[in-house]
């Protein structure tokens, strides 16, 4: 068990399981995009570690771009999305792979896709390391999923609780207080 700020977390997913899930996604993305010169659009801050793994395994030409939106405060989604850092330079006409750490309600991914549609990208797909199917409220297809999880709040591998926990190599979930 570990403590971050005021809360306690217990380990639920090992780094080995994570690396196997990432290998699976990397194989699919290589198959689908090797000759397409895609842009990996990395959703800051949480997705940077996962993105680095995927990009190091990519075997064709590719570019990277970064976007930052904010919705979470503490352990709850506020529902309202604000763009903190927009896409620059323009992604018009490009094949974009959105790289997310986790898809929860889907509010964030929906907001990012709205931005890509306004940018008139050629096409886009969504890759996420973690997915909470029971929390997801949108119709948007999630093309590449690493691991499906329950409606737990998790930290590690880029994911944080109020800034802490991103450096953990395994995944921990918030412990229920009895």
Residues that bind ligand IMP (CB under 6 A): 43, 46, 71-72, 77, 100-108, 153-155, 159
Residues, the chain: 178
Task: Identify which of residues 48 and 58 has a Cβ nearer to ligand IMP in the complex.
Answer: 48
Known catalytic membership, residue 104: yes
Task: Identify which of residues 27 and 64 has a Cβ nearer to Mg ion in the complex.
Answer: 64
Give the residue, chosen from 38, 46, 146, 165, that forms a contact with Mg ion under the rule CB under 5 A: 46
- Cβ atoms 17, 169 nearer than 8 A: no
Task: Identify which of residues 63 and 152 has a Cβ nearer to ligand IMP in the complex.
Answer: 152
> Least distance to Mg ion from the beta carbon of 47, Å?
6
- How many residues sit in the footprint of Mg ion (CB under 5 A)? 2
Name the nearest CA neighbour of 75 among 166, 160, 165, 175: 160
Question: Partners of 164 in the beta sheet?
Answer: 161
> Least distance to Mg ion from the beta carbon of 101, Å?
5
> Least distance to ligand IMP from the beta carbon of 130, Å?
7
Residue with tokens 């880029």: 158
> Least distance to ligand IMP from the beta carbon of 61, Å?
27
154 touches which of Mg ion, ligand IMP, none (CB within 5 to 8 A by kind)?
A: ligand IMP
The Cβ-side half-sphere exposure at 169, using a 13 Å CA radius, reads 3
Tokens (6 digits) for 81: 């999305």
The catalytic residue among 31, 101, 104, 123 is: 104
Task: Identify which of residues 101 and 106 has a Cβ nearer to Mg ion in the complex.
Answer: 101
Name the nearest CA neighbour of 133 among 119, 121, 147: 147
Alpha helices in the chain (DSSP H): 15-33, 48-56, 107-119
Name the nearest CA neighbour of 154 among 119, 111, 102, 105: 102
Active-site residues: which are they? Answer: 104
Residues that bind Mg ion (CB under 5 A): 46, 101
């Amino acid at each position: 068990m570990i403590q971050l700020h005021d809360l306690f977390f217990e380990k639920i997913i090992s780094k080995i399981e994570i690396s196997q899930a990432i290998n699976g996604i990397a194989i699919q993305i290589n198959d689908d995009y090797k000759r397409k010169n895609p842009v990996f659009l990395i959703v800051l801050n949480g997705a940077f570690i996962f993105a680095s793994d995927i990009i190091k395994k990519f075997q064709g030409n590719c570019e990277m771009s970064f976007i930052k939106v904010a919705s979470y405060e503490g352990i709850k989604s506020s529902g309202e999305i604000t763009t903190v850092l927009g896409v620059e330079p323009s992604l018009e006409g490009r094949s974009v792979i959105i790289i997310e750490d986790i898809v929860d309600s889907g509010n964030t991914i929906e907001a990012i896709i709205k931005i890509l549609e306004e940018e008139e990208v050629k096409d886009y797909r969504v890759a996420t390391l973690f997915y909470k199917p029971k929390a997801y409220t949108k119709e948007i297809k999630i093309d590449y999923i690493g691991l499906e999880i329950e409606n737990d709040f998790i930290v590690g591998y880029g994911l944080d609780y109020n800034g802490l926990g991103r450096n953990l190599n395994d995944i921990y979930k918030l412990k229920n207080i009895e």
